[in-house]
Structure 1
Amino acid sequence: MELTVEMMKKLLDSAIINNEDVERAQIETIKEALMNKYGIKAPKLTQRKNRKGYVCNIPGKYVIPGGPKRPQVSGSTQAECLKNFYDYIEKSVVGTYDKNMTLQDVCEEWLRKKKGEINETTLDRYDSIYRNHLKDTEFSNLTLRKIKKFDCDDYIKTLYHKKLAYRTVKNIKTLVSQVMHYAIMREYMNTNYMSYVKINANLCAVNEYKKEAWTDEELCIIRKKSLEEWNEHKKYRFSAVIMLSATTGCRIGELLAADWSDIDFEKKTFTINKNYVNYRDVDTGNYVTQINHGKNVASRRSIDLTDEAVFWFKEMKRRNDHLGLYSEHVIVSRKGARLKHRAIDARIETFCNAIHIPYKASHTGRRTYATALKDYGVPISEISADLGHSSILTTQAIYYKRRNSREKALGQKNAAFVATLGNTPSLE
């Protein structure tokens, strides 16, 4: 049988329990309600310096729009402080719908809620889309209750005039659609009109950035020139990173985060459990570089190293040792620090220019790994596991790249029909 408020009062009046017992019961009740209803642990309460009451901070994701940026709640007792915290959270989660709330208002609220729920690089990408394509536009300043499908259609049309690539327009549409879905869940609006909008790919700009893989010929040149330039001139130390990426399929951030303790040369394995990332902090606007520990479960993995991959890890170590760089990091600057992604890209571009092959971004090695193995018949599931993908569809649709020249492909197609039908008869 549960104790009601009236029963507690009678026990208190009868001196069976005291005020401290009542407060403890209240605190436990509020803690249980916070966890069961909102999945929130009770906050840390701080006693005021004058010992008159308690205060606690509101987590950033629950800050009510338009209020103080770093709000606190207080109470004369711990139970009262917790009760006020609960009331604030309930108001934040349930919300009092502002009839004049604009799409921009709810987008900013959505971004605040996302902080802590998703990784920093993804949050930075969402925030960048919002700042560059949505913030302070005529569309974003519409009140939610006034938005109709034709408003969404008109907004997408404005993106065509900006000469944006199809993928960019699609990402913007997806962001707005997610924000509207959030607004529906919060009962701010009833219909996600953006989800009904169709993007006309023919009106989007042609994306000049091609996601390519290194060709067999290019990779052979890179391998040969990397060894020659280092052995003969001690130049282009980081050209080895191209080969490491192409023979392991790792993200460049994963290689930049790698330590020698992650590599077991005897068992020929590479344990990947961290990524070196750079992102813009949405609160301060400052750029942050840090180690993150895996995007998801699939990203944290151990891969078996091919003989070629083992060779290039050892080659990287040989080059570091020659310069006296006895660091725990696999890829290290002359000052013993980890290198940033942009610094590696710049060095790869310098090397490509020096050996007269077209520069391709560092992620090209990852696509090369997937393509080379798939072309040779390695099961797509095995390749997907090495790349740390949670779905083989990602590997197949995004990372596998056609590398044959048109002439080579046509020769293969002709050979297939010759094998099936015999030589093509002459019409002369």
Structure 2
Amino acid sequence: MSRFEELDKLVKDGMMDKEAADDIKEKIMKKALEEKNIIMPTITEHMRKGKLQYTCMIPASKSRNGKRHQITGKTREECEKKWAAEMYDIEENGKETAPETISDLMIEWMRKKKDVKKQTLSGYHSHFENHIKNAPFADMKIKDIRLQDCKDMIAYLIEKKDGTAGMGYNTVRHIKSEISMALDYAVANEYINANYMSTVKINQGLCDTTRARKSKAWTDEELQELCSAALISWEQKQMYRHSATLMAMIFTGCRAGEFCALEWSDFDEKRRTLTINKTLTSYRDYEADKHIQTLSTPKTPDSVRVLELTDEAVFWLKEVKRRQIERNIKTTHIVSSSSGHYANQRDLNVRFEVFCKANGLEYSPTHTARRTYASVLYDGGVPVSEIARDLGHKKITTTMNSYYKPRTSRTLTSQKNAVFVTAVTAGTKTLKTL
């Protein structure tokens, strides 16, 4: 473990203040640079957009990629610290050669991508390994990439290969975005001058739709059947313990990861509230080459919320607890395995499918519960702003565009019939008076 890693561990363990650790790091870096006779260059100050800015240069002979590089800071001290940190890193880890191919660029970009969650980075790695690395585009030199090459890459993703269907729109969109971000990184590091992928349009009509699952929300009739089956199967056979979990998810509208992360301490039965402040995530750590399951922060800042629970939500949460007690499962988790450990979204989907098929019900994945929560409330006249708050959405357009699903309803059909009958009758009366 390096000296810097030791300091970071002390900070993480609460044994040292971060500012104190940063001061020690700065002294280590300056001493190492002085010993190698690397002298701080001249710092200049100038006005930019009405604000004072401090800059200094790392010459091409000293830079990581062999190109002259500018360091910028809001204060002279910040500029000095940034320069020392970059020069120390270059001296310790050596210079890097600029990536030549798209494949090289993607690998370097992902390695240095530190501003996203690890599970997001895992998705980037998965797309690269499965869809980018073996494409002809990946072997092209980045300095030779032009607009048509980027268009050809998108066409490659969409086209059918070896008799199999091409990719769906959302997958193509995500891959295009990742390649574009890598090319933006290349521009920022002066490897290339332009990112042509950013201007490419995806023809959604050409993308594959055969594997797309039609999203839905359960109807009132289906909800009644689910409730009945969940109660009867447990009372009569002590089977399908997680059917209560499914019902609790429907009546709280939580994301599956959020619900799987819940502790019983998050449920306040007296105040009838449920606190959402974490999510259980599973992903592949490609650098460590292992599967990770861990708690993480919720999807967005607005996802941190306290739900005011309905009678149904309270009932099914208590039902989840009752079943754990009857099975003698000792756990702090609301959603747990038989051994009391975390159960994840994949576990739940398997159990929900078994439950639905055993009771002759149509199975839908866990996210259907969240869409059902939104749809039932909206159909019942609850303001969309309140539904969006419950779901942790910042914008009501997200709620309406992605989560509200019209549900089959005889009442609405009858209402439409009545409207048309009135219109036709009125027209007939008009004709008779002419």
TM range (shorter): 0.7 to 0.9
Alignment partner of 1:179 is 2:182: yes
Partner of 1:18 in structure 2? Answer: none
Distance in 2 (alpha carbons) for counterparts of 1:292 and 1:45:
34
**What are the residue-to-residue correspondences of 1:28-427 with 2, within 5 Å?**
43=25, 85-89=85-89, 98=98, 101-115=100-114, 117-162=115-160, 163-206=166-209, 207-404=211-408, 410-419=413-422, 422=425, 425=428
Distance in 1 (alpha carbons) for counterparts of 2:242 and 2:107:
41
| TM-aligned CA deviation for residue 42 of structure 1 | 6.7
Distance in 2 (alpha carbons) for counterparts of 1:114 and 1:211:
32
Cα-to-partner distance string for 1:259-313 (whole Å, 9 max, x where unaligned): 1111111111000111111111020221111111323321111110011000001
Structure 2 length normalisation: TM-score?
A: 0.74
8 Å CA contact retained: 1:252, 1:363: yes
Distance in 2 (alpha carbons) for counterparts of 1:299 and 1:349:
27
Number of residue-to-residue matches in the alignment: 355
Deviates more, 1:410-419 or 1:294-303: 410-419
Distance in 2 (alpha carbons) for counterparts of 1:106 and 1:41:
34
Distance in 2 (alpha carbons) for counterparts of 1:273 and 1:227:
30
Structure 1 length normalisation: TM-score?
A: 0.75
| Alpha-carbon spacing, 1:229–1:381, altered in 2? closer, same or farther (3 Å) | same
In structure 1, the gaps of 5 or more residues are: 1-34, 48-52, 55-63, 66-81
Cα-to-partner distance string for 1:362-403 (whole Å, 9 max, x where unaligned): 111011111111222222221111111233222221111121
| TM-aligned CA deviation for residue 337 of structure 1 | 1.3
| Alpha-carbon spacing, 1:334–1:399, altered in 2? closer, same or farther (3 Å) | same
SS at match of 2:270: coil
- One-letter amino acid of the counterpart of residue 285, structure 1: D
- One-letter amino acid of the counterpart of residue 142, structure 2: L
Distance in 2 (alpha carbons) for counterparts of 1:316 and 1:299:
23
In structure 2, the gaps of 5 or more residues are: 1-17, 30-34, 37-63, 66-81, 161-165
| Alpha-carbon spacing, 1:247–1:125, altered in 2? closer, same or farther (3 Å) | same
Deviates more, 1:215-224 or 1:386-395: 386-395
| Alpha-carbon spacing, 1:41–1:225, altered in 2? closer, same or farther (3 Å) | farther
| TM-aligned CA deviation for residue 417 of structure 1 | 3.9
Distance in 1 (alpha carbons) for counterparts of 2:175 and 2:197:
10
8 Å CA contact retained: 1:230, 1:237: yes
Deviates more, 1:333-342 or 1:361-370: 333-342
8 Å CA contact retained: 1:124, 1:281: yes
Distance in 1 (alpha carbons) for counterparts of 2:317 and 2:310:
11
SS at match of 2:316: helix
Cα-to-partner distance string for 1:46-100 (whole Å, 9 max, x where unaligned): 89xxxxx99xxxxxxxxx79xxxxxxxxxxxxxxxx98753144799xx8773x6
- One-letter amino acid of the counterpart of residue 87, structure 1: M
Distance in 2 (alpha carbons) for counterparts of 1:168 and 1:196:
18
| Alpha-carbon spacing, 1:178–1:85, altered in 2? closer, same or farther (3 Å) | closer
| TM-aligned CA deviation for residue 238 of structure 1 | 0.4
Distance in 2 (alpha carbons) for counterparts of 1:190 and 1:409:
57
| Alpha-carbon spacing, 1:153–1:293, altered in 2? closer, same or farther (3 Å) | closer
SS at match of 1:283: coil
| TM-aligned CA deviation for residue 124 of structure 1 | 1.4
| TM-aligned CA deviation for residue 414 of structure 1 | 3.2
| Alpha-carbon spacing, 1:266–1:384, altered in 2? closer, same or farther (3 Å) | same
- One-letter amino acid of the counterpart of residue 102, structure 1: T
| TM-aligned CA deviation for residue 213 of structure 1 | 1.5
- One-letter amino acid of the counterpart of residue 156, structure 2: T
| TM-aligned CA deviation for residue 44 of structure 1 | 8.4
| TM-aligned CA deviation for residue 156 of structure 1 | 1.1
Distance in 2 (alpha carbons) for counterparts of 1:313 and 1:390:
26
| TM-aligned CA deviation for residue 186 of structure 1 | 2.0
Identical positions, percent:
39
| TM-aligned CA deviation for residue 425 of structure 1 | 4.3
Partner of 2:52 in structure 1? Answer: none
